[in-house]
Structure 1
Amino acid sequence: MSAALHRSAETATPPAPSAQQMSAAGLRAFARIAEAWGLNTDEQLRLLGEPARSTFFAWRKSPEVARVPRDTLERLSNLLGIYKSLQILLPDPQAADAWVRQPNTAELFGGRSALDRMLAGNVSDLNLVRRYLDSVRGGGWA
């Protein structure tokens, strides 16, 4: 292999994951998050944007072939970001997982839990919780 070809292969950017790959990875991660947070089926459905129950259970059974709408991908992205931020902010995994259900005095939550806010049903609610946690990590509240 020539030096030029060798350098090109080393610096080549891997292809972006497909929507199918992102869906599968997001759904597998969400299943673990749902278990860690103790989410019941109705809470999971609400967080994912209210897909049909049959669709939800098909996603759970075979995430690798799931066809997830863009809205659900955005919800999954926010939920994974929330989970990641909590794991960073609260290194004790049990404390991080419990945080979502605890009453919170921050203005955004008004004494209710972050999960209550997330269960309002809008993707914007998930995004607000994610942005709040990012700001606590030092990213500034916008």
Structure 2
Amino acid sequence: MHLVAHDPQPDITSGDAGRVALTFFFSLMEHWGCTKEQQCTLLGSIGNTTYFKYKKLPNVRLPHDTLERISYLMGMHKALRILFSNQPERAYEWVHKANTAAPFNGQSALSYMLAGQVVDLADVRRYLDGVRG
């Protein structure tokens, strides 16, 4: 009897993982009410051709940068759903609200993230993880 060892880690570079990540991303963007331009920026300043290709939710191997960005957004979504577990609509509104806490300095989390760097998404994720405790 031969046992085949299975890698317990999913292949995040597979086309299927790319489709799942994009499905999550576009669903979240709908809840957040983000424009196409904002979505392109959050995905790493992708062009229109790539954006419309991604919107079709293909089995596509996403670049590491894109996967990292979507991963941060997933973490934010999870943290917000926990923080606002009794009011899910507030979890989606939070990104649009002005925030006086560092690092936002009066702007919304979405405005902060739209500076476009991966670190901006990481900062928001870290902030939410800190608030959540």
Q: For residue 90 of structure 1, what is the aligned residue in structure 2?
A: 84
**1:133 pairs with 2:132:** no
**1:17 pairs with 2:21:** no
For 1:95 and 1:46, the matched residues in 2 are separated by 23
- Name the CA shift for 1:15/1:106 in 2 (closer, same or farther; >3 Å): closer
Return the offset for 1:12: 6.2
Structure 1's consecutive aligned runs of 4 or more residues displaced over 3 angstroms after TM superposition are 11-15
For 1:130 and 1:14, the matched residues in 2 are separated by 26
Letter in 2 for 1:74: E
Q: For residue 68 of structure 2, what is the aligned residue in structure 1?
A: 74
Q: For residue 31 of structure 1, what is the aligned residue in structure 2?
A: 26
**1:123 pairs with 2:118:** yes
Query: How many correspondences in the alignment?
Result: 131
Return the offset for 1:22: 2.4
- The TM-score, its normalising length taken from structure 2, stands at 0.89
- SS where residue 19 of structure 1 aligns? coil
- The TM-score, its normalising length taken from structure 1, stands at 0.84
More helix by share: 1
- The RMSD of aligned alpha carbons is 1.9
Mean Cα deviation higher: 13-22 or 75-84: 13-22
Return the offset for 1:23: 1.5
* Structure 1, unaligned runs of 5 or more: none
Higher relative contact order (CA 8 A, sep 6+): 2
Structure number, greater radius of gyration: 1
Residue identity (%):
43
* Structure 2, unaligned runs of 5 or more: none
On the 8 A contact 2:17/2:61 being kept in 1, the answer is no
